[in-house]
Structure 1
Amino acid sequence: MSTLQRSIEKEKIMPFFVLWTKLEEEIGIIHTSKRTDASLFMKQGISVYKALLEQCSSEEETLEPLNNDERLHFVESYTSTYAAFRQLQELFIEMQKKVAAKRAILNRL
């Protein structure tokens, strides 16, 4: 079993997505109500995302969405905006797909 295969096992990856789902709901409520700034929750979401990226990296390969660095930079620069929130949502969705696809490929080998 490769290092990457061990690092993307469901048990190791799911906590990141569970935590993001909770943050995503809170951030969505904040953007809907427009009463407070979502930056604090967005920064937590960014931390979860970066930890997920770290988990999905090995010496052999790194899993990340297309244009990850540019998109993450945008999210970090505009944490209080709805556009940054949507971009972070998309990054998580794409990571989930990448992990599932890679897991399927590795399981076939």
Structure 2
Amino acid sequence: MKLSQKLTKEQLDPHFLKWDRIAVDLAKLHSQRDKRAKDAIQEGLKVYTHLLAHCRDALKDEEFEPLNGSERLSFVEDSAGTYAAYRQLDKLFAELKKTIARKRIELKRLTK
């Protein structure tokens, strides 16, 4: 299987859709100052790390991540119940999506 076939929309969209659902729940939980936000962040972290592992495996690049991704991920893990952690994880998902799109374009150009 070619690298670009492992980074298809069909393979990656379920992760982003799952995050979108979690993010909606997190926004509600934070607006209500609900302590269950920490559990929702943990669920979002699982989705993010699974998606990141899939991308790294597909690209055969263990360094693949958004800018300062590991430091930002550590922040989210350390302060999981906070609104700042939720926003940071949301930004990590958005940047990962952009980074994947950029990689798809690079791979497409290389195969031409």
Q: Same fold (TM over 0.5)?
A: yes
Q: How many residues align?
A: 108
TM-score, length basis structure 1: 0.91
Percent pairwise identity: 38
* Runs of 4+ in structure 1 over 4 Å off: none
Gaps (5+ residues) in structure 2? Answer: none
Map of 2:29 onto structure 1: 30
CA apart distance, 1:8: 1.1
Q: CA RMSD in A?
A: 1.5
Deviation string for 1:3-48 (max 9, x for gaps)? Answer: 3x23211111101000000000000101111133301110000000
Q: Where in structure 2 are the equivalents of 1:76-95 lying within 5 Å? A: 76-95=77-96
Alignment of 1:44 onto 2:43: yes
Deviation string for 1:41-92 (max 9, x for gaps)? Answer: 1000000000000110136324311111111111011110001001000000
Gaps (5+ residues) in structure 1? Answer: none
Name the CA distance, whole Å, in 2 between partners of 1:49 and 1:36. 21
TM-score, length basis structure 2: 0.89
Q: Where in structure 2 are the equivalents of 1:1-109 lying within 5 Å? A: 2-3=2-3, 5-58=4-57, 60-62=60-62, 63-109=64-110
